[in-house]
Amino acid sequence: MSAPIPPDDQNRDLGFGSVVSRESKLRLLNRDGSFNVEREGLSFWASLSGYHYLLTISWARFVAMLTVVYFLLNALFAEAYLLCGPDALMGGLGHLDNPVLRAFFFSVQTFATIGYGSIVPATLAANLIVTVESLVGLLSFAWGAAILFARFSRPTAQILFSKTAVIAPYRGATAFEFRIANQRKNQIIELEAKVLFSRVEQDETGVNRRFYTLELERQKVVFFPLAWTVVHPIDQRSPLFGLTEKDFKTSEVEFLVLLSGIDETFSQTVHARSSYKANEVVWNAKFTDIFVRPADDEPLKIDIGRLHDFERL
């Protein structure tokens, strides 16, 4: 199996569809791991996908949304109480005279199930609305708590990728290398890397983008406490064999990286993606040492700030 992998078996369809990006010079995968693609023809609801949206927006935005919903719902119920007439709510100790404010704050006291009793429902209609509001309040709270928990428990890895990959000397030949580190305090184990190499090629059917899976020196590490240099040796079986820095640029190469590992905090599988385009690959360089020399009685130490550092040879 030392012959070059025939492109035909590797590139027909990798989920990008059978023919992709013939002319496009843009990257397929952005540095942050999102795909640089668009889908048309989704139904409105399918593209909305509310749950996915609520899980992925920022915390600030999420809390802002909850606050807005909370005020709107209370305003809605306040309006309902007002529609029941002036006798619907009766004020006791310390109530406000303004009927709108009274209705709004009564709604708050009901929605949040506080019920001071300084304002109370006094008609059948008001009591029925209280019944509905209490149910809506309980369900809304359960809904909010469920989304909140779902946000907390989402497995997300924060893997830091070196800003550039390098073509480095490796056992008498060269290798394509990039470096990663764990940005969080959690432990990631059984970390596995997949690297796809993509380039535009000219063949009998025209100019097509082809995909190749790169063989790695080591595809998996059992432990990932510090940093890991992922290495693809450029030997005769490599689709990079014989390519020059100029070829990289003219054939619009892109290295697509998919990492998956197990986050020990929850024993959950986590994923991280990134990609390197031709201009993010430095030729004839090697990564500089990331280790801080430990004294004899000190634990191993790395400086993550040096993850991106390399030296030209």
Cβ proximity to its own copies, 6 vs 242, nearer residue: 6
Cβ proximity to its own copies, 224 vs 248, nearer residue: 224
Q: How many whole angstroms separate alpha carbon 99 and alpha carbon 83?
A: 11
Cβ proximity to its own copies, 76 vs 142, nearer residue: 142
Q: Whole-number minimum distance, CB 144 to its own copies, in Å?
A: 6
Q: Whole-number minimum distance, CB 287 to its own copies, in Å?
A: 9
Residue 273, both tokens: 């993606």
Q: Whole-number minimum distance, CB 306 to its own copies, in Å?
A: 7
Comparing CA positions, the residue from 255, 271, 286 lying closest to residue 31 is 255
Q: Whole-number minimum distance, CB 301 to its own copies, in Å?
A: 4
Q: Whole-number minimum distance, CB 266 to its own copies, in Å?
A: 6
Q: How many whole angstroms separate alpha carbon 90 and alpha carbon 123?
A: 9
Cβ proximity to its own copies, 21 vs 238, nearer residue: 21
Task: Give the phi and the psi of residue 236 in degrees, each rounded to 5.
Answer: -65, -25
Please list, in sequence order, all residues whose beta carbon lies within 8 angstroms of the beta carbon of residue 102, skipping any fewer than 6 positions away.
Answer: 89, 91, 95, 96, 119
Cβ proximity to its own copies, 110 vs 251, nearer residue: 110
User: Left, alpha or beta for 141 (phi > 0: left; psi -120 to 50: alpha)?
Assistant: alpha
Cβ proximity to its own copies, 204 vs 297, nearer residue: 297
Q: Whole-number minimum distance, CB 36 to its own copies, in Å?
A: 4
